[in-house]
Structure 1
Amino acid sequence: MNQTTHSQRDDLRSEVRLVRGALNRLRQDLIVDAFAFRPMLPLDDARMTGWSWVPGRLRRHLRWAPHFALAAVAAVVFLGISSVLARSSPLDFVFTAAFSFLLAAPLALTLFRPIGAFWLSGGTLGLAMLAYVVTGSGAEGYGIGFATHTAVMVLVVLRTRPRLAAEMWLTTMAATGVMVLLVPHRVSDVAALAVVTAFALVPAAAIRAWREERRNVVETRTATAEERSRRTLLEERALIARELHDVVAHHMSVIAIQAEAAPYRVKDTPPELATSFSTIRENAVAALTELRRILGVVRSEDPDAFADADPEAPQPTLASLDSLLESVRGAGLIVEAVITGSPRPLPQGVELSAYRIVQEALSNTLRHAPGAEARVEISYVLGGLGLRIVNGKASRLAKPSPGAGHGVLGMRERVQMLGGEMTADHTDEGGFEVAAFIPVSATPGAAEGKTA
């Protein structure tokens, strides 16, 4: 028995909490800051896509079209109500104009203070009902007031959130119900009005809910795309870091070997000089170890990610371009290469990045432009290296690619890392062009092949 009583008490407390929560939401939605300024924003670019043929200056004004339209509707409603009441009511002109204004103004007020418009419209409806109950005349004003109040509630729902439809409907019907209980013989058509307003508010709430859901989906997709782009950018940077590691490791290895061999090339090497060379070698080896350890952390969660990798594996350069072209030709791509200027040794990082850019551009051609022809232009100029990879229009439909679709991002990151510039865009013939310039300083270190 006690257990049953406790269960009933718990159920009662749960119901009380639900009611209290509903009343609290009702207070927050309809009472707290009811007349706060909540302006409706003009149309954004997404909603103006179908108006691209309109001149720019006029299109800026069209962003405010909903505001102008609603203000015009409110003005028409004011004139119409004034005309109807003037013919059917013996009241003077001033009172009729004031009452018509109170009925029509909430329609325009929904643009700026939607909740306040609901209360103003509801108060005007209450005055109309009270006048009808007291005087027994003015049924037209009572009916028009209910129609305008329903329109205001629909506009408020479309401007705010779906749940306000139920809250405003319940509030309106509760106030009307009180009037019915007080004067039942005067107000007898409330049930029909309740059904009509419900049928008007339900579609409005559904439309608002659909718009909110669509907006959430767009925001989620945008956030996902940004996160994917950011993740791809980090992956590309990590890949570049791995490749540059091999370049730096080569030079550091040369430093270590030269420092170790230098004392044996000089007879009677002073102890101080031998100690300096030993220190140089130790620092070079330590730098190599630290570089590989840090790069392992960047590349993966495993600090020993490169423990089994071959540090001596050569990285491709422009000297390997012929084998790359033969590979893509074997895959069915018709490609020609044109080299202008005098080929010369370039810094290893520049050679590697140039090779990867050509490789990625040709891979994109194979994936996205099947059947198209491609052309690779490499220009050795005084200030650096120019690259241009262009392909024609696809001759057949491209299959969906399983890649992330951020190859251009990786190419751009490589060029920017070396202080260069790059453009990638569609051509007028329907193909795609990648053009890049990588500056190369004319320093002795740039021509490393001459110092070997």
Structure 2
Amino acid sequence: MNRARALWERVPAPAVDLVLVIAAAVDVWLNLLDDTRLGVALATLGCAALAFRRRFPLGVFLLTLPIALTQPVAVAPLAALFTLAERSRNRPLLGVCVALVAVANSTPWPLAGLTEVGRTMTLVTFVYSLATAAAPVLIAQLLQARRDLARRLVEIEEAREHERVLHAQAVLARERAQLAREMHDVVSHQVSLIAVQAGAMQVAAKDLDAKEAARTIRSLSVTTLDELRTMVTLLRASGGRATELTPQPTLADLHELVESSGTHAQLTGELPTTVGTPAQRALYRTVQEALTNVRKHAPGATARVELWQDGDDVGVTVANTPPTRPSLPLPGSQHGLVGLRERADILRGTLEAGPTTEGGYRVRLRIPLGAD
């Protein structure tokens, strides 16, 4: 059955229409009861109109309706009614069309012979014609429902496939988030401890080889920690647009950071170009975290960002005035300053943070100039 249907669908539509027009014309030629000029003209018009049944189904049906008046069971009006029912979802309209065909078939032609046919015969003919006209409508509606069902099944399958993809993405996101938590809570913490211990060993060691080995361990630990934090960020992004790697910030980016901080902040001071990359990153993150806290917890306050050098140490001080209006309760992780202190410890520096006597807040980072 499917093979026959596939072969039928390969037949061009114009060829099918041509065959239908010829079949309707042969049917009229063999069975037409009204051979007058008017009857022949109406029959010819109705048969020719079948070529346009796909574009104008209702109009073609109305043009074929006179054939049903002059012929008991005609191919043309039934074919036009089938096409209309296959394309229309207006069931009241289809019911009216079926009734019109039944009335036309049961009406004696010419009308002068109406008294010669009894009421009973007319009623029987009407019922028979009604059933005959309803058959192509029911078949067409069945085909329409079949197409709708097939389309619905395709939509359901696509929805299920989309749901499977979303479920797989959700599972992957959960696994990545769990892995990110493990790396952040366990691995990053352990590497931080290694870096701190290596720094302490570097300071306390007397042997030059031991001091150099401790410096190497601390340097590798710092690099590993930065890579771990980058990996945690990528894992938490779960494949979103935020997974693209971006250059790490340096002191050259401080001006843009201060200008785009959303606070009234001023940057002063300079640092030598010999400041190492890890130290520049620590200074940048300190300013970033401090300005973020000013924006969140001290609305309306002004801030001053000062870069300074004190002997062999460099640092930054971020101080803000008291807020001019109440702050909104915003959620926070409460880990920003903790992370800054860990970064400072790794670089053998110190971080001081606390309120000022004027009612503001100050964050001060000090790092050895040669920290790397």
TM-score scaled to structure 1, two decimals? 0.35
Pair member with larger Rg: 2
- TM-score for the superposition, normalised by structure 2: 0.41
